């Protein structure tokens, strides 16, 4: 297989048209057609393909190794955030990223249980019983606001506000303890 055929294979694997592929590496679709047809490929084009699509350069040039380079968890997370906020992010997406950045370990546990329910179809009731200390708020975590009575909704919102204030108080208390320790 030639480098030109491997470039075509990358494009097909990514399910992109020649125009879409070319746009991502700043070439026109007809240039991609020429490259795939056997035209010499510039070093810049090879570099751009590897960088933009996370292609293994050794594979692209020589056909050795895997087509794509394995990404670290940090790179995957960075790419996900970049994708989430690309273009003009909606207010909801911005709020989501801000909320995730403030998660405590228990918030991450609750989110994991919810995502397991959404993605794997596991019952949130069964997942919640796996946790030894399921609190009232965690039980309400699986209830949609439209399924709650106005009183339950108010109670849950009050609890969330109190939790947030408690987290802020704890972080400000630990900050003052540190400054007391430094001063003492």
pLDDT at residue 126 in the model: 53
Structure tokens at 53: 């699509």
The answer to whether residues 44 and 84 belong to one domain is no
For residues 55-62, average pLDDT: 96
* Pairwise CA distance, residues 31 & 69, whole Å: 25
Q: Is residue 88 part of a domain?
A: yes
The answer to whether residues 12 and 56 belong to one domain is yes
The answer to whether residues 91 and 54 belong to one domain is no
Q: What is the largest CA-CA distance in the chain?
A: 75
- List phi, psi (to 5°) of 68: -110, 150
For residues 99-104, average pLDDT: 82
Q: State the chain's mean pLDDT as an integer.
A: 78
Q: Is residue 11 part of a domain?
A: yes
Strands (DSSP E) found in the chain: none
Q: Is residue 140 part of a domain?
A: no
Residue 34 has pLDDT above 70, yes or no: yes
Q: Is residue 49 part of a domain?
A: yes
Q: Rounded to two decimals, what is the model's pTM?
A: 0.47
* Pairwise CA distance, residues 49 & 68, whole Å: 11
- List phi, psi (to 5°) of 77: -65, -45
pLDDT at residue 139 in the model: 47
Distance (Å) of CA 146 to CA 54, 57, 112, 140: 43, 52, 22, 12
Q: Is residue 26 part of a domain?
A: yes
For residues 24-51, average pLDDT: 94
Q: Is residue 55 part of a domain?
A: yes
C-alpha dihedral sign at 3, 7, 13, 17: negative
145-180 pLDDT, tens digit per residue, is 556 677 776 777 777 777 777 767 766 665 555 445
Domain count for the chain = 2
Q: Is residue 141 part of a domain?
A: no
Are 60 and 6 spatial neighbours (Cβ–Cβ below 8 Å)?
yes
Q: Is residue 144 part of a domain?
A: no
* Pairwise CA distance, residues 80 & 7, whole Å: 25
The answer to whether residues 51 and 83 belong to one domain is no
pLDDT at residue 98 in the model: 77
Confidence label for 53 from pLDDT (cuts 50, 70 and 90): very high
Confidence label for 78 from pLDDT (cuts 50, 70 and 90): confident
State which residues form the domain around 94: 75-101
pLDDT at residue 143 in the model: 52
Least confident of 92-101, 117-126, 132-141: 132-141
29: nearest Cα among 38, 37, 20? 20
């Amino acid at each position: 297989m030639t480098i030109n055929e491997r470039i075509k294979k990358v494009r097909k694997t990514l399910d992109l048209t020649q125009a879409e592929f070319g746009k991502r590496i700043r070439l026109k679709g007809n240039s991609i057609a020429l490259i795939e047809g056997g035209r010499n490929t510039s070093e810049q084009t090879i570099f751009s393909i590897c960088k933009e699509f996370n292609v293994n350069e050794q594979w692209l040039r020589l056909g050795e190794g895997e087509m794509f380079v394995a990404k670290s968890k940090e790179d995957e997370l960075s790419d996900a955030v970049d994708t989430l906020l690309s273009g003009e992010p909606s207010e909801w997406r911005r709020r989501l990223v801000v909320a995730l950045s403030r998660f405590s370990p228990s918030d991450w546990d609750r989110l994991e249980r919810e995502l397991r329910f959404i993605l794997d179809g596991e019952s949130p009731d069964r997942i919640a019983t796996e946790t030894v200390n399921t609190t009232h708020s965690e039980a309400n975590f699986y209830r949609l606001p439209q399924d709650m009575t106005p009183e339950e909704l108010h109670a849950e919102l009050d609890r969330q506000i109190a939790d947030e204030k408690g987290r802020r108080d704890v972080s400000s208390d630990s900050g003052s303890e540190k400054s007391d320790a430094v001063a003492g």
